[in-house]
Chains A and B, each alone.
Chain A
Amino acid sequence: MAVKVVRRPELTFWEKLYIPQILCGLKITFTHFFRNLFLHIAHHLGRFKHLPASATIQYPEELRPLMSRFRSRHRLTLREDDTPRCVGCMLCETVCPAKCITIVPAEHPDPSVEKYPVRFDIDLGVCVYCGYCVEVCPEDAIRMDTGILDLAAYSREAMQLDIHELKDPKLRKPINDCSLKFPHQCRLADGRMKGRWEGIEGARTRSGSPSLST
């Protein structure tokens, strides 16, 4: 067995005197103190803005820059006609390790699309932010790029997002009026179907020529 002899560094007489070492320490703290004091004052006068005076980020007002691959709150991407790109294939619901996604698919008027979600719920209280749903989606219909990190709520119910909030990340609870036009099961109407396909661009192709909407 190899023996490794650890030699503790012996203090020199100069170091044992304490006081020179204390002065060395004070030099560091004083340098920081006066540099930051100067920079804080200079910032108030609008100078030296490129030199930070502190590492602090004033959180609620100021957010830390996020990496582009950072996984934040989910959103459903949309077609040009404001309907979700989701085709209700259930891959994300299947792959989800936390089982926090609930999808109820229905038939889409466009035969080339086949299905769309009438319900798309994510329970953020259960979600583990693994990002598998984003990885697995064949339609690029779900992304985790909203940059929303402040997911605090007072109840478990409030942590459950439905299609309204997923479609529009700016929406915050409580949501009182439903602005979705296409048919969906709405929590605001006790889970009954609401909305129609009339007047929605993508729905017109049902009787006409099939076209891939982007």
Chain B
Amino acid sequence: MMEVVLIKLVLAGIVFFAALNLAGFHTWVERKQSALIQDRIGANRAHIFGFRMLGMFHGMADVLKMFTKEDLVPEGADRTLHALAPFFSVFFALVTFAAIPFGDRLILGDLVIELQVAKIDAALLYIFAMLSLGVYGVILAGFASRNNFAILGGLRATAQMISYEIALGIAIVGVIMVYGTMDLAELVRAQGQTIGGWIPLWGIVTQPVAFIVFVTAALAETKRLPFDLPEGESEIVGYFVEYSGMKFGMFYLTDFLETIVVASLSTTLFFGGWQVPYLMPDGFHFPWGGELPVPHLVYVLLGVASFSIKGLLFCFVFMQLRWTLPRFRYDQLMSLGWKGLFPIAVVNIVVTAVVLAFLGEAS
């Protein structure tokens, strides 16, 4: 029993370490990537003993600044809720990672370790529940600030997140139908099959439409640029106008954490999670006939590396999208969600059901 708890603690530690550091790293990536896109250099002044590390210390400097800044609570605001809101935000973004499998099960002697912090049968439902609860952080922040603009911002954010959650959830149904499971670990395992030995049966192959709907809706969930109406860095008064110091920093962190959540979810659902093409538990089986046996530990590590690389690639693409697309108008946002993504997702389910029924009859 003690063993299990220890293993889970270590896994949770690893996931938290990776997620939080990646979120911190994202601030640097955001600056540098945008700089490269816009023919600039980006932040490069902060240094420790003359080492500038391409401006990587700016993230640390920012955190230091935020911790030492004055924490202002507006007069007449609900102090408790005002303090709680950023914690809600970060908490629900962080717990989502618990259900995401980042590797195949690791077998050490007679110890079987699932590389997933919490093995939940309905992991997908859990993740969507947690993502939805993230709305509370936003609406509470707006509500507790005692600022009309903040409340409006919070309402905008809530309306947007709830609208896109529907498209998000329905897009996933197609994936669940194809693979027949809500357990993410099983879902990833099911994506290990291949079509005719050549094409891996990843979600992107079986559900390309769902993938596009999912990524669009998920980007809207993260409240980042094409859909950043709730906050709008410099132009729009968002739900966290009345926040300063590290409380504001936590909302900022939530943004990056949610991006990482969405990146790892897209990887898990549509890009085979920790699957490496043609890699079976006993080694590579190439469709052109070659075989390359691989030891178990290497197999698991390859899986973890594959998951990380795919996740990071998604983060990179999301960042690129953020610096490419202009912001939607609010009515465009709503009509895209309700008149665009939602019907497409529903049609996708119907088509998937019909195709599955025919395939079921055929076999």
Interface residues of A (CB under 8 A from B): 19, 22, 25-26, 28-30, 32-33, 36-37, 40, 53-56, 58
Contacts and interface: CB of A to CB of B under 8 A. Distances in A.
A33 B33 contact: yes
Residue of B35, B37, B321, B323 with highest tally of chain A CB at under 10 A: B37
Nearest to A25: B324
Interface stretch (B38-46, B165-173, B185-193, B244-252): B38-46
B321 to A, nearest CB: 7
A7 to B, nearest CB: 21
A29 B41 contact: no
A28 B324 contact: yes
Contact of B324 (A26, A36, A54): A26
A36 B321 contact: no
A36 to B, nearest CB: 4
Nearest to A27: B324
Interface string B15-27: 0000000000000
A115 to B, nearest CB: 50
30 contacts: A22-B325, A25-B324, A25-B325, A26-B320, A26-B321, A26-B324, A28-B324, A29-B37, A29-B320, A29-B323, A29-B324, A30-B320, A32-B36, A32-B37, A32-B38, A32-B39, A33-B33, A33-B36, A33-B320, A36-B36, A36-B37, A36-B39, A37-B36, A53-B39, A54-B35, A54-B39, A54-B41, A55-B40, A56-B40, A58-B41
Interface of B: 33, 35-41, 212, 320-321, 323-325
A168 to B, nearest CB: 32
A22 B212 CA distance: 12
A25 to B, nearest CB: 4
A14 to B, nearest CB: 16
B312 to A, nearest CB: 15
B49 to A, nearest CB: 19
A58 B45 CA distance: 10
A22 B324 contact: yes
B91 to A, nearest CB: 33
Residue of A28, A29, A30, A36 with highest tally of chain B CB at under 10 A: A29
A67 B36 CA distance: 28
Contacts of B325: 22, 25
A159 to B, nearest CB: 27
A80 to B, nearest CB: 45
A36 B35 CA distance: 9
A28 B41 CA distance: 18
A58 B41 CA distance: 9
A23 B62 CA distance: 33
Contacts of B36: 32-33, 36-37, 40
Given A36-B37, A37-B36, 15 more contacts: A19-B212, A22-B325, A25-B325, A26-B321, A28-B324, A29-B320, A30-B320, A32-B37, A32-B38, A33-B33, A40-B36, A53-B39, A55-B39, A56-B40, A58-B41
A28 B37 CA distance: 9
Contacts of A29: 37, 320, 323-324
B225 to A, nearest CB: 12
A151 B40 CA distance: 26
Contacts of B39: 32, 36, 53-55
Contacts of A55: 39-40
A42 to B, nearest CB: 14
A135 B323 CA distance: 49
Contacts of A58: 41
Contacts of B323: 29
A38 to B, nearest CB: 10
A33 B37 CA distance: 5
B347 to A, nearest CB: 15
Contacts of A19: 212
A19 B39 CA distance: 25
A55 B38 CA distance: 9
Residue of B36, B37, B321, B323 with highest tally of chain A CB at under 10 A: B36
A26 B318 CA distance: 11
A56 B41 contact: yes
